[in-house]
């Protein structure tokens, strides 16, 4: 049995029923095979065996009271995966699908994503199986306060700095921060994604979406092409999708779709972004409401999606930006994108394409930007927020945005150069995984067996 297969088999025994985690590990291990051959020291130092085991896993009860006076209980997690390059850094996800395996997959990805940014941040992730949908503001606040009542003792500006992810935006960060401050009696940069009023960074909200589009720009540049006039399919309608669409419009492209967990909007003349912002950011409503303003748009409810696929990927487009969630884009979806002439796929979400879909993209020769490289702009800007907090300064929007652009370009060129060095010039999965892994592995060796 190969070393990689053996590692996965062992994981299945020691960490049972964590399929998304195995998928994320397999993705990294398969691409770094040529590196492991070239540098036997990684095996001598048991880097893989150490890397797949989180440094610390915190699991806790989150009890809270709903508006009817019933006691509710959720599972809370913070997985401090790897601190070779800096304090643990990564978001918190509040979603009913959250379990230890999901948080481990996200934490594992985060290690390499953060390494790729070139900034001094380790990898971590957390969250809860809490469903924020339909909850009142007071319920969200009580949940966040209960969650932080345990989490506060594990985090700190030089230890572990959580941020947002699915279900955790500026409102939740506010409630979490308030409770942290109350318990710790400290006002410090212990969370990122904070409000601009009290320590947040300009451009953090926009950063993941903008960053993914800057990454796409680098990919198009390399083909001697640009985003100008391109038709773009987007999935999702959260923070990542909204600001990816905004930057696409800025650069002359046309986003023609978006989606939420209930259905997909397709609007040939271009998505009305102000309306999506109003529905999603202000009213926290459903995308279906889009039709009340634009009856020439097409809405497909989730129940009408094709079997084994998502309805958003069946339209004709030049580029695709999966910005919703893991494994939202299947082999069938990849096939229909490619058949319809899509030449560039850029992942705004974490691991949105199944392994079979990724294989199809790579075989086809389409330009494929994996999430851990293309969506690293969010966490990179979080680190810029940490820098501003530590120095008690605030940079203006353009300064942060310029830095973000530079970081995305560096990530792209680092991954591209590494892919070329290893003889697979268009395989950015291999390039990103090797470039990220190498930094973490070398740091681990230098820090000894810890």
Do residues 174 and 93 make contact, with C-beta atoms less than 8 angstroms apart? Answer: no
Burial of 433: CB neighbours in 10 Å, binned 0-12, 13-18, 19+: buried
- Selected from 8, 111, 163, 319, the binder of ligand GLU by CB under 6 A is 163
350 or 354: CB nearest ligand GLU? 350
| Residues of the binding site for substrate | 89, 110, 113, 164, 382
311 or 433: CB nearest ligand GLU? 433
89-124: burial string, b at 16+ Cβ within 10 Å, e else? bbbbbbbeebbbbbbbbbbbbbbbbbbbbbbebbbb
219 or 376: CB nearest ligand GLU? 376
Q: Is 82 near ligand GLU (CB under 6 A)?
A: no
- Selected from 7, 42, 89, 149, the binder of ligand GLU by CB under 6 A is 89
How far apart CA 248 and CA 278 sit, in angstroms, is 19
Q: Is 253 near ligand GLU (CB under 6 A)?
A: no
| Residues of the binding site for NAD(+) | 208, 239
Q: How many beta carbons lie within 10 A of that of residue 450, not counting itself?
A: 8
Q: Is 191 near ligand GLU (CB under 6 A)?
A: no
One-character DSSP codes across 133-165: TT--HHHHHHHHHHHHHHHTTT-BTTTEEEE-B
Q: Which stretch binds ligand GLU (CB under 6 A): 94-102, 377-385, 393-401, 442-450?
A: 377-385
How far apart CA 260 and CA 287 sit, in angstroms, is 7
Q: Is 382 near ligand GLU (CB under 6 A)?
A: yes
How far apart CA 308 and CA 329 sit, in angstroms, is 9
In the complex, the smallest distance separating the C-beta of residue 195 from ligand GLU, rounded to whole angstroms, is 15
Going by C-alpha positions, the residue among 138, 146, 131, 134 that lies closest to residue 176 is: 146
In the complex, the smallest distance separating the C-beta of residue 94 from ligand GLU, rounded to whole angstroms, is 12
In the complex, the smallest distance separating the C-beta of residue 161 from ligand GLU, rounded to whole angstroms, is 7
Q: Is 91 near ligand GLU (CB under 6 A)?
A: yes
In the complex, the smallest distance separating the C-beta of residue 28 from ligand GLU, rounded to whole angstroms, is 16
Q: Is 80 near ligand GLU (CB under 6 A)?
A: no
Q: Is 325 near ligand GLU (CB under 6 A)?
A: no
Which residues lie closer than 8 Å to 344 by C-beta, 6 or more apart? 216, 219, 220, 318, 319, 320, 366, 367, 368, 369
Which residues lie closer than 8 Å to 30 by C-beta, 6 or more apart? 4
Q: HSE-up of 366 (CA within 13 Å, CB side)? A: 25
349 or 434: CB nearest ligand GLU? 349
Residue 312, classed as helix, strand or coil, is: helix
27 or 165: CB nearest ligand GLU? 165
Binding residues for ligand GLU, rule CB under 6 A, total 10
Residue 3-22 contact track with ligand GLU, rule CB under 6 A, x = bound: --------------------
Paired with 122 in beta bridges are: 88
Q: Is 370 near ligand GLU (CB under 6 A)?
A: no
Q: Is 74 near ligand GLU (CB under 6 A)?
A: no
Catalytic (active site) residue 205: no
Q: Is 267 near ligand GLU (CB under 6 A)?
A: no
| Active-site choice (5, 104, 125, 439) | 125
Do residues 323 and 235 make contact, with C-beta atoms less than 8 angstroms apart? Answer: yes
139 or 347: CB nearest ligand GLU? 347
Which residues lie closer than 8 Å to 84 by C-beta, 6 or more apart? 122, 440, 443, 444, 447
155 or 297: CB nearest ligand GLU? 155
- Selected from 165, 172, 347, 401, the binder of ligand GLU by CB under 6 A is 165
| Catalytic positions, written as ranges | 125
Residues near ligand GLU (CB under 6 A) are 89-91, 163, 165, 192, 350, 378-379, 382
């Amino acid at each position: 049995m190969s070393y990689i297969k053996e590692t996965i088999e062992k994981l299945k025994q020691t960490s049972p029923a964590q399929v998304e985690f195995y998928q994320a590990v397999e993705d990294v291990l398969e691409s770094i095979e040529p590196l492991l051959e070239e540098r036997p020291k990684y095996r001598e130092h048991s880097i893989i065996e150490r890397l797949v085991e989180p440094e610390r896993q915190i699991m806790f009860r989150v009890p809270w009271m709903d508006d009817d006076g019933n006691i509710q209980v959720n599972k809370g997690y913070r997985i401090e995966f790897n601190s070779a390059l800096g304090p643990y850094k990564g978001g918190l996800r509040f979603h009913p699908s959250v379990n230890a395996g999901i948080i481990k997959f996200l934490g594992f990805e985060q290690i390499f994503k953060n390494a790729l940014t070139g900034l001094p941040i380790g990898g971590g992730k957390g969250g809860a199986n809490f469903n924020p949908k339909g909850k009142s503001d007071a319920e969200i606040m009580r949940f966040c306060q209960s969650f932080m009542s345990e989490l506060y003792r594990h985090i700190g500006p030089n230890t572990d700095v959580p941020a947002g992810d699915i279900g955790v935006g500026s409102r939740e960060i506010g409630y979490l921060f308030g409770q942290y401050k109350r318990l710790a009696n400290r006002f410090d940069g212990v969370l990122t994604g904070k409000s601009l009023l009290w320590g947040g960074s300009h451009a953090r909200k926009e950063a993941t979406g903008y960053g993914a589009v800057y990454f796409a720009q680098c990919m198009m540049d390399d083909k001697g092409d640009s985003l100008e006039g391109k038709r773009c399919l987007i999935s999702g309608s959260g923070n990542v999708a909204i600001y990816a669409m905004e930057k696409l419009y800025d650069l002359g492209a046309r986003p023609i779709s978006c989606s939420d967990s209930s259905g997909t909007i397709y609007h040939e003349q271009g998505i009305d972004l102000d309306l999506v912002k109003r529905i999603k950011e202000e009213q926290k409503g459903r995308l279906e409401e889009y039709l009340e303003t634009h009856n020439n748009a097409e809405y497909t409810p989730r129940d009408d999606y094709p079997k084994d696929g998502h309805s958003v990927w069946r339209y004709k487009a030049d580029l695709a930006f999966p910005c919703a969630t893991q494994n939202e884009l299947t082999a069938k979806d990849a096939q229909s994108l490619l058949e319809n002439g899509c030449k560039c796929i850029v992942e705004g979400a974490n691991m949105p394409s199944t392994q079979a879909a990724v294989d199809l993209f790579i075989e086809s020769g389409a330009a494929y930007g994996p999430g851990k490289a293309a969506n690293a702009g969010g966490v990179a800007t979080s680190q810029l927020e940490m820098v501003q907090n530590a120095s008690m300064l605030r940079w203006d929007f353009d300064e942060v945005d310029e830095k973000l652009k530079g970081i995305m370009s560096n990530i792209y060129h680092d991954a591209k150069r590494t892919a070329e060095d290893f003889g697979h010039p268009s395989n950015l999965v291999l390039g990103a995984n090797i470039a990220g892994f190498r930094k973490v592995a070398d740091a681990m060796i230098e820090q000894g067996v810890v």
